[in-house]
Amino acid sequence: MLIHVLKSKIHRVTVTEANLNYIGSITIDQDLLDAANILPNERVSIVNNNNGERFDTYVISGERGSGMICLNGAAARKVQPGDIIIIIAYGIMSEEEAKTYKPVILFPDTETNKLV
């Protein structure tokens, strides 16, 4: 049996932009993506701590070192710049793999969205 398991989490980053006039997705600073082991086009779940919204989208790579966290398209309606969100990526693995898998969990600075 295969199960969905927490693969990576970027815990508590600040939304820097919300761009309604874009096709969709979340743009994330490439430094955060590298550190969290999240790939462009990967599906992620977003949890908005400010309003309780939860939704899924896919990742676009943002400028390295920018601290960018931008929700695009319809997802832009579920956040406001300044909101604190959690970004979660899941993996699908066997129960045996899941027993020993260690997820990557980042705790960036919420003012700059950069790793401390």
In order of their start, the domains of the chain are 2-92 (2.40.40.20)
64 neighbors 90 (Cβ within 8 angstroms): no
Q: Given this model, what pLDDT does residue 23 score?
A: 82
Output the pLDDT for position 66: 98
Annotated active-site residue 45? The verdict is: no
The answer to whether residues 57 and 46 touch, using CB atoms and an 8 Å cutoff, is yes
Radius of gyration (Cα) for the chain, nearest Å?
14
Nearest 5°: CA angle at 13, between 85 and 73?
55
Alpha-carbon distances, residue 28 vs 2, 20, 33 (angstroms): 28, 16, 7
Known catalytic residue at 101: no
3-state helix, strand, coil in the chain (%, to 5): 15, 45, 35
**In this predicted structure, what is the pLDDT of residue 81?**
98
Given 25, 45, 66, 90, which residue is catalytic? 25
Per the CB < 8 A criterion, the answer to whether 37 and 104 are in contact is yes
pLDDT at 24: 81
Residue of 22, 45, 58, 61 marked catalytic: 58
* pLDDT tens digits in sequence order for the chain, 116 residues long: 999 999 999 999 999 999 999 988 999 999 999 999 999 999 999 999 999 999 999 999 999 999 999 999 999 999 999 999 999 999 999 999 999 999 999 999 999 999 98
Backbone angles phi, psi at 35, to 5 degrees: -65, -35
